[in-house]
Amino acid sequence: MARMIHSMIRVRDEAASIAFYDTAFGLKVADRLVFDSFTLIYLSNAEQTFELELTVNHDRARPYDLGDGYGHLAVSVADVDAEHARLAAAGLSPLAVKDMACGARFVGRFFFITDPDGYRIEVLQRGAPGRFV
């Protein structure tokens, strides 16, 4: 059986991205590989083995076009309201917390935040019904 190990996004400003993911989600640099034309930075924390890979293309000066195919990354947290307040206090501008329901079935609470390159991250209340663990 296959196991997911990482997801990769392209970023322009290595320092800004590392600072964002550290402040927002406690992700630290686990490894950094510098090649001639690009750098790979693997971010992780003690909560899981899944990593976020940041790819920095050395010759990239303009923002990436995220297109209409990218959706979002998702993380779960123990207290979505406290996390929202912490991120707002850190100046990271999270969107409003929302409740999600499918008909009469409550699914969970969540909000979105955007990284320096425009990638959206969904922050979900851990332990809610459904798939949010």
Task: Please state the domain count of the chain.
Answer: 2
**Do 32 and 78 fall within a single domain?**
no
| Residue positions annotated with a catalytic role | 122
* 28-34 and 38-44 beta bridge pairing: antiparallel
Predicted local confidence at residue 2, as pLDDT: 67
Q: Is the torsion defined by CA of 62, 66, 72, 73 positive or negative?
A: negative
Q: Is the same domain home to 1 and 55? A: yes
- Same domain? For 45 and 77 the reply is no
- The rounded distance, in Å, linking the Cα atoms of 125 and 79 is 6
Structural tokens at position 129:
């019904």
**Does residue 95 share a domain with residue 51?**
no
Amino acid in the structure at residue 35: F
User: Distance between alpha carbon 125 and the CA centroid of its chain, in Å?
Assistant: 15
Structure tokens that stand for 1 in this block = 């059986």
Residues spanned by the domain of 116: 71-133
Q: Per-residue pLDDT averaged across 45-65, rounded?
A: 93
Do residues 83 and 110 both lie within one domain? yes
Q: Do 75 and 116 belong together in one domain? A: yes
79 and 103 both lie in a single domain: yes
* pLDDT value at residue 16: 97
Same domain, 82 and 121: yes
The whole-chain average pLDDT of the chain stands at 91
- pTM metric for this prediction: 0.87
CATH number of domain containing 119: 3.10.180.10
**Does any domain span residue 66?**
no
Q: What angle do CA 29, 35, 37 make, to 5 degrees?
A: 115
Residue type, 46: A
Task: Mark whether 81 and 124 lie in a shared domain.
Answer: yes
Judgement on whether residues 75 and 55 belong to the same structural domain of the protein: no
Q: Is residue 104 assigned to a domain?
A: yes
pLDDT, tens digit, for every residue of 67-88? 888 888 989 899 999 999 999 9
pLDDT for res 30? 96
Position 43 in a domain: yes
Above 90 in pLDDT, residue 114? yes
What is the model's pLDDT at position 133?
54
Q: Do 104 and 47 belong to one domain?
A: no
